Structures are given as C-alpha cells and as structure tokens.
Amino acid sequence: MNIPLGMKQARPVSQKKLIKKQKQQKKRTRKITNVSPSALRQTENFYMSPCAKKYLKALCDPFQPITGVCIPDNQDAPSLKFFSRVRGGMNVGTGQVGFVIASAQNQTNDSFAVCSTIATFVTINVPQAGVTVGTLSVPNAQFPYTTAQLNAFGYVARVVAAGIRIRYTGTELNRSGRVFCVRVPSDQTLVAATVPGILSRSNVKTKIVDRSWHGLSYIPTLSSDFDYKSTDQVLGAANVDLVIGVEGAVAGNGFEYEAVWMHEICNGAAALGVNPLTTSHSDTVGLSASRSFFEQTEINDAGPGVYDQAINFMKQFSLADVSRFISGGVQVYNSL
C-alpha cells in the first residue's frame, strides 16, 4: 500500500492489547457510574419508580382501584391507602341540562361529597349541593371516618386521586345532547357557573352523548393539594371543583354516575388508631414528571387512554429537564 508523503503508517494493535484496553475502560466506567456493564449498554431513558407509576395511573384513570398508591413526595410517612366509590343516577332537567358535581377534597363519610340533578331541575347553572331545587346530594359513605371523629381526633388525610364519570342509560330513541367536563383548582368553585360560560372555556371539550363512560379526574395544581389536612372540604357553595354536564338532551333522560377517591390517611394529634398503615415512598423526579404531563398536555378526559398518553409522554421526557446527578449519587439506567 502506498502511503502519502509526510504520513506515518499506524502501528497495528494486537488483539491482546485491545482486549486489555477495553477491560480497563469498563472498570473505569463502572467505578464512575456504579452501574452494571449491561446497564451501560442499554438505551438511556427516564426512569420512573413503581410508586410514581402507580400515582400517574391513579391520576389518569382513578376509576380502577390501585393497591398501595400514594403521593411520591417527601411526606412519606406510613399511611392508610383507601379507595372509595359512590354510585348514583342523574336526570336531565326541564331546561335540557343536567349536572354531576363533586368535591375532590372531601374527607368524611357524613358530609356532602357528590350532587346530581333530577328531572325537576329547572336552571342551566351549576347547582349548590343541599340547596338548589331539583338536586340530590349524598356523602361518600365508604370513607372510614365521620366529621365527629375528624374534629375529636384530628386525623389528617389528603387526596391522592379522584374523579367523576357518567354514561347514558336511557332509550336509544331519546338519546341526544352533548357531554362536557370541567375542573378548576381546589381553591375555586364552579357553583352558579352557566352552561354558556363553561363552554366558552378554552380547555372544555364536548362529546356527543353515547353509552360510553365520559369522565374527568382531579389534577393537583396547588402546593396545598399535597398537604395532609385536618379539615373537611364539604361540597356546598365552595369546593365544587369537578363538574360533568349534559346539555341539549331530552328532559328527563337518565344517566348513571360514579365518583371515586383515593386517600392517604395518617394518625392525628389524638389517639385515633388509623390502620392498617403501609409504607409510603418518595420519587420527587417521578412526581415532577407526572405534573409536567398534565401541565403540558391538555387533558379533558379520564381513563386508560389517558394513561397511554402519559406513558408516551414519559418515554419522550427530556433527561435535561431533571437533575440526574447528585453528588456521590448513582446514574440510573432503565426504561418504562
């Protein structure tokens, strides 16, 4: 082989030296990252802990009970993880409008948690539980503690996930109208909001009434949403933060609804024996990723399809957006 003037031929590297060099390189890499060689050969992806994945799934589809789900933040004291459900019916009123409303932060079994309209409902405004004529208000009877126990023992609780959903149960001949869903932050209320006002919101989408479930999940947006609370959030003039409505339907048409909650409950100042307590976990990066999904993606639905969207979002979650390296820490390699 002819070598151009001024260039030197590279000295061949023996196979033995090459293998030795590769072993040394692997040792240095393992020492730096503290992960196995097989992990180093994997594609680098954002890793979400099992606890954070449960939490994400609960937010996306709260209607399926999930064992041991908690908020994976730094308040990781052992807690009672509790799922509860309320089922009922809703009818469209004389103005061709019907509602199901709920308080996501409700945490007793004897205060109003859900309100639905009946056939004698006459307005087009979001009703007030226990006050508006033509409505039926009920508590979350499956929650384990009463208002008296809350006041006497001061147990603390926080909502992990919550949601409401409806589906049409009337005749096919009378099926008509459209469904809309809306939520607001927990420090706001939708009482007295009108249908035109709700439909003018940019984040509200409508769907034709059919026999599928149409749902809405609670999404925490305030720092206080992650705090344990010793006060109940009764559904009334305040705390109406989840609303599903039907408009343009035949008066009297029937729907069924489900309202669900997942809570964490801890012992309070007095001797109320909250049990069984199970371990809670922390994954603040996974929690941040979950919040990023709902902040960056316009979600106005709830169910398995939303969880699929979330997983696709996580697969693209930018590693540059999270703190991957901690002094003396470990680089994590994994995939969802």
Candidate from 9-18, 32-41, 325-334 with smallest mean pLDDT: 325-334
Number of domains in the chain: 1
Q: What percent of the chain has pLDDT over 70?
A: 78
pLDDT digits (tens, 9 = 90+) for 123-152: 999 999 999 999 999 999 999 889 988 888
* Percent of the chain clearing pLDDT 90 (strictly above): 44
Other beta carbons within 10 angstroms of residue 217's beta carbon come to 27
159 close to 105: Cβ distance less than 8 angstroms: yes
Residue 329 has pLDDT above 50, yes or no: no
Q: Smallest Cα–Cα separation from 96: which of 259, 213, 209?
A: 209
Structure tokens at 145: 């503690």
Do residues 111 and 93 touch, judged by C-beta distance below 8 A? no
> Is the residue at 26 inside a domain?
no
pLDDT in tens, 206-265: 999 999 999 999 988 888 888 988 888 999 999 999 999 999 999 999 999 999 999 998
- Confidence check: pLDDT of 336 > 70: no
**pLDDT tens, residue by residue, 68-122:** 899 988 887 888 898 999 999 999 999 999 999 999 999 999 999 999 999 999 9
Q: Which of 68-82, 175-189, 289-303, 321-335 has the lowest mean pLDDT?
A: 321-335
SS3 at position 159: strand
> Looking at the predicted structure, is the pLDDT value of residue 31 above 60?
no
Residue 133 within a domain:
yes
Contact between 299 and 309 (Cβ < 8 Å): yes
Q: What is the mean pLDDT of residues 297-323?
A: 69
Q: Which of 154, 133, 131, 157 is nearest to 143 (CA)?
A: 157
Per-residue pLDDT at 275: 75
Tokens for 35?
């992960």
More confident: 268 or 237: 237
Q: Is residue 310 part of a domain?
A: no
Q: Please state the φ and ψ torsions of residue 18, each to the nearest 5 degrees.
A: -65, -45
Q: Which domain holds residue 118?
A: 78-281
Give the pLDDT confidence score for residue 83 in this predicted structure.
Answer: 94
pLDDT class for 164, splitting at 50, 70, 90? very high
Summarize pLDDT for 9-18 with one digit per residue, the tens.
555 556 677 7
Q: What pLDDT is recorded for position 332? A: 40
SS3 188: coil
pLDDT value of residue 118? 97
Higher pLDDT, 324 or 244: 244
Inside any domain, residue 331: no
Q: Which residues contact 155 (CB under 8 A, 6 or more apart)?
A: 145, 149, 230, 265, 266, 267, 268, 272, 274
Average pLDDT value for residue range 301-308: 79
Q: Are 236 and 112 in contact (CB under 8 A)?
A: yes
The CATH number assigned to the domain holding 222 equals: 2.60.120.950
Structural domain contains residue 24: no
Q: What confidence score (pLDDT) does residue 37 get?
A: 60
Mean pLDDT within 298-317: 75
User: Is 112 part of a structural domain of the chain?
Assistant: yes
Tokens at residue 201, please? Answer: 């919101």
- Whole-prediction pTM: 0.79
Nearest to 254 by CA among 191, 140, 176: 176
Domain assignment present for 42 = no
Please tell me the predicted confidence (pLDDT) of residue 328.
39
Give the Cβ contact number of residue 105 at 10 Å. 26
Q: Is residue 51 part of a domain?
A: no
